[in-house]
Amino acid sequence: MRELWAVRNPSREIPLVAVTLLMSLALILLPTVKENPTLEGTERVRALVLEVDDSQAHRIGFVHVGTQAVRAKILDGRFAGIETWATNHYKGVLEIDKEFRPGDVAFGVVNAAGDRIVHVNLLDHYRLDALATLLALFAASLTLLAGWTGFKALTSFVFIALLIWKGFLPMILMGLNPIPLALLTVAVISASASLSAGGVSRRGLVALGGCVSGMILTCALSILFGKALKIHGAVMPFTETLLHSGFGHLDLTSLFLASTFVACSGAIVDVAIDISASQEEVAKANPSVGRLGLLLSGLSVSKSVISSMSNTLLLAYSGSYMGLLLSLNALGIPAYNILNLRHVAAEILHTLVGSLGMIWVAPLTSLIGSLSFLRK
C-alpha cells in the first residue's frame, strides 16, 4: 500500500492537486446564474409512499393517463413526519412517467402557505442515496487500487464534472458562443487530465500539447462536416425545450457541433497520455534512440491504442441510440434510408469525427514527444 501512495516528485504533484481541489471548491461556491422563479416558496423533500389510489388513472396500451393519488409521509424539512396526499400526473409517455407503490421513497416538492401545506407534487423516485453510494464506491475503488495516481485522477474527475456543470453549461445559457467556449473548456479538461496523470513534467506537457492539437483538428472537422450534412441542433434530446423556456437566443446547431468534440475529448486525452508515457519510458531506457526512433516508437504504440479506442467510440455512440436503431430495423426501413436520417447521420458524425480526432492525435503527440523528451 505504501508503494501505491509513493509520490515521485511531491514538490510538483502535491501543489497541482491542491490547486485542483481549490478550483473545485471555488466552482462549488459559485452561485447559480439563474434561479427559477416558480420554485420560490417551495421545499424539496423525501416522502415515503404509504398508500396509492389509481381510481383516476387509466391504462391505455403500455402507458397510463390521468392522475395517481398518493398518501405519503414527509421524511425531512420543516414538515417532517406529516402525512398528506400528493399527486402523480401521468403524461402517457413511458420515457417520463413514473408509477409509485407503497414502500417507495419519492422525491417531491411541497408548496406551502405559512405553516400549512397547500399541495405536494411527487416528481420522481428518490435516487440520490443510491447515486451517492455508487459515487463513494467509485472513489474508494479508484484510490484503493491506484493509490496516489488514483487520488489525482479522482480530483481531476471532480473538477471536470464541476467545470461542466457550474461553468460550461451556465455560460451557454448566458448566450456565449458554444463552439469557442467548448474548445476552451476541453483545453482546461485536457490540462487537468494530462497533468493529473503525468504530473507537471514533460510527460504531462507532451500529452497536453497532443490533446490540444487533436481538439483543434476535431473542432474544425465537426464544423466542416456538420455544415455539409445540414444537421440541425434540435436532434439532441431536450434542446428544443430550451427554446420554449426563455432561451430562444441559443444557437442549437452550434451547440450540437460543440458537443461533437466535447464528447470525444476523453478518448483523445487517453490516447495522448498513453503515447507520451510510452515515449518517456523509451527515452529513459535508451537516451541514444534519437528523435526519429522516438517518433517511430510513439507511432508504433499508437497503432494498438487507436484500433481499440475507435471500437470503444463506435460502441459507446451506438449504445446511446440503441432504441432508435432497433425501431428503424423493426419497421423494415432500408439501410439507405436509415443512413440518411438526420438522427443517424448525427451519430455517424459524432463517431467518425471523434475517431478522426483520436487517430490524428497519435502522430501529433508522437511528434511533440520526439521533440521534447530528448531535449536537455
Query: Any idea which of 23-27, 301-305, 340-344 has the lowest mean pLDDT?
Result: 301-305
pTM as predicted? 0.79
Alpha helices by DSSP H, the chain:
10-29, 128-162, 169-173, 178-198, 202-229, 239-243, 252-263, 265-285, 290-320, 322-330, 335-340, 342-372
Contact 254, 350 (CB under 8 A): no
At the topology level, CATH places domain 175-372 in: Multidrug efflux transporter AcrB transmembrane fold (1.20.1640)
Whole-number pLDDT of residue 39? 60
Separation of alpha carbons 112 and 126, rounded Å: 21
Q: What are phi and psi of 111, to 5 degrees?
A: -100, 125
What pLDDT does 1 receive?
Answer: 46
Cα(19)–Cα(169) distance, rounded to whole angstroms?
22
Residue range 265-316, pLDDT digits in tens = 888 888 888 888 888 888 888 888 888 888 888 888 887 777 777 777 777 7
* pLDDT at 40 > cutoff 70: no
**Stretch 122-127: mean pLDDT:** 91
Indicate the pairing of strand 57-60 with strand 116-125.
unpaired
**DSSP strand pairing (63-74 vs 83-91):** antiparallel
Q: How many Å is the maximal CA-CA distance in the chain?
A: 82
Is the pLDDT higher at 252 or at 318? 252
Look at residue 107 in the predicted model and tell me its pLDDT.
93
pLDDT category at 133 given cuts 50, 70, 90 is: very high
pLDDT greater than 50 at residue 2: no
Q: Report whether pLDDT(3) > 70.
A: no
- On the question of pLDDT at 143 being above 50, the answer is yes
Q: What is the model's pLDDT at position 36?
A: 60
Is it the case that residue 161 has pLDDT exceeding 50?
yes
Is there a contact between 296 and 230 (Cβ–Cβ < 8 Å)? no
pLDDT per position as a tens digit, 356-370: 888 888 889 989 988
User: Is the per-residue pLDDT at 140 higher than 90?
Assistant: yes
pLDDT value of residue 37: 55
pLDDT of 203 over the 70 cut: yes
pLDDT recorded at residue 73: 94
Closest CA to 28 of 36, 20, 38: 20
Dihedrals phi, psi of 352, to nearest 5 degrees: -75, -40
Mean pLDDT, rounded, of the chain:
84
CB 195 within 8 A of CB 222: no
User: Taking residues 91-118, what's their average pLDDT?
Assistant: 88
Task: Write down the pLDDT at residue 139.
Answer: 93
Residue 94 confidence (pLDDT): 83
What's the confidence (pLDDT) of residue 6?
Answer: 46
- Ranges of each domain in the chain: 38-126, 175-372
Q: What is the fold, at CATH topology level, of the domain defined by 38-126? A: OB fold (Dihydrolipoamide Acetyltransferase, E2P) (2.40.50)
Average pLDDT over residues 29-55: 78
Query: pLDDT at position 11, please?
Result: 52
For 7, the grid coordinates are 509520490
Counting residues of the chain whose pLDDT is more than 90, the rounded percentage is 16
The mean pLDDT of 116-126, rounded to a whole number, is 88
Q: Which helix (H) or strand (E) holds 113?
A: strand 105-113
Higher local confidence (pLDDT), 98 or 6:
98
Alpha carbon distance 30, 263 (integer Å):
25
In this prediction, residues 183-206 reach a mean pLDDT of 80
Other CB atoms within 10 Å distance of the CB of residue 348: 14
